Amino acid sequence: MNTLPPNHGALSIASLLGNAKNPTSNSNKPTRKPRKGKAKTQLKLRVVLVDDHKIVANGLRLLVNSYGVFDVIGVAYNLTDMRRILEQQPLPDVIIIDMHLGNESGIDGVKYISQNYPSVKAIALTADENHHLVRDFMDAGGHGFVAKAVADLEMYSAITAVVNGEYYVCAHTQDRLMNNFLYSSPQHTAVPQKSNIHLSDELTQRETEIIKLIAMGKTSAVISKELFISTRTVETHRKNIMSKLNIHNAAGIIRYALKTFPEVEVQKTEL
């Protein structure tokens, strides 16, 4: 997996088109002669887009390619097109998929990706930020969730996070989720129905620390460094946590943390 450079700033489609006409330059700097020999080239991460609106898909292609470290290798307008692209080689590293594809559901597309191409990371791009949709997307095997309203600001961070093994929820959706968890009635929350709120008494202090760090988007490797324990120990704690809380994946841990520890927010990956 290629190491990505720091975020060099998000571009809106409007600014992207403007910069193409007036590229920035520094005429006072002397031109540096290229060095002889073979130049080092960094392989770009491959991205596939799935959106039934061609204008949106084309704008998103411009945006993603503008970062310089991603390469949009295919655009699908429905799930049939998506499956056809996935059957080709090479596989993409990331698929950005709309949750509402005409008469089709993006959730079905994410399930197909998760079951048949587990190495491919899925990012939802949608105008619908209903907490049930976020839950269903994560349960289907998704890794990142970005609202269309902030796609130009957060898509770089989202792609970078998921290819580095993190879960990502944009700040815009985080706010909506937090409000829902804090003010909705218990029967409408996304927390597993087994009374996990009382199970926190069964957790050790270390397990509670790890739950909060997972909810902040930290990997086992990062957690091990912060707590000065081995990665294997972190993984053991993860298994114990999921067993005690009857949770089966990291998305469930995040939902549990949001409900049980309201001071913890799902954090964006710091680049």
pLDDT at residue 186 in the model: 44
Distance CA 112, CA 130 (A): 22
Predicted TM-score (pTM) of this structure: 0.55
23 neighbors 78 (Cβ within 8 angstroms): no
pLDDT at residue 243 in the model: 81
72 neighbors 49 (Cβ within 8 angstroms): yes
- Residue 155's nearest CA partner among 10, 2, 18, 44 is 10
* Spans of all domains in the chain: 44-177, 191-260
pLDDT profile of the chain (271 residues), mean per 10: 45 38 40 48 86 92 93 94 91 94 91 94 86 85 89 89 88 70 46 40 78 83 82 83 80 78 56 28
92: its two tokens: 């993409």
Distance CA 83, CA 93 (A): 15
Q: Do domains 44-177 and 191-260 have the same CATH topology?
A: no
Multiple choice CATH, 191-260, 1.10.10.10, 2.60.40.10, 3.40.50.2300, 3.40.190.10: 1.10.10.10
188, with CB counted inside 10 A (0-12, 13-18, 19+), is exposed
pLDDT at residue 30 in the model: 44
| Protein fold of 44-177 | Rossmann fold (3.40.50)
